[in-house]
Amino acid sequence: MLPLFLLGVLIILVMAAYIGVGDILPILRDVDIRFYLLAIGAQIVAILVWLTKWKILTNAINLDAKTHRMFPILLSGIFVNTVVPSARNLNKTRIKNAIETIGSNILR
């Protein structure tokens, strides 16, 4: 688990170097700490809700998945969804095209 954490830290450092630390720090100084803490709290609550959801689903199919094993998998999924947002848009496009195709076939 530690190597993955270090990899995450490395990725953040590379992104900060690419963007420029001088551009990031003034923005972070202007952030109201209450909103920052609220955002962190909301993310923690969201992760706990997702973990609970997966625990309920795995229990429903008689799969004894431990929460500490599901946690890194959940975080990996969140990471992929964040890094690859085009996959979500691609699915929306496919659904829209399918609906338009079905609709046009029905009207013929």
Contact call for residues 47 and 74 (beta carbons, < 8 A): yes
Quick one: tokens of 60? 């429903």
What's the pTM value of the predicted model, to 2 decimals? Answer: 0.56
Residue 1 makes CB contacts below 8 A (sequence gap 6+) with 72
Using CA atoms of 22, 40, 70, 78 in order, give the dihedral in degrees to the nearest 10: -50
Distance of CA 77 to the CA centre of its chain: 6
When mean pLDDT is compared across 7-16, 46-55, 94-103, the lowest value belongs to: 94-103
* Segment 76-92, tens digit of pLDDT: 888 777 766 555 555 66
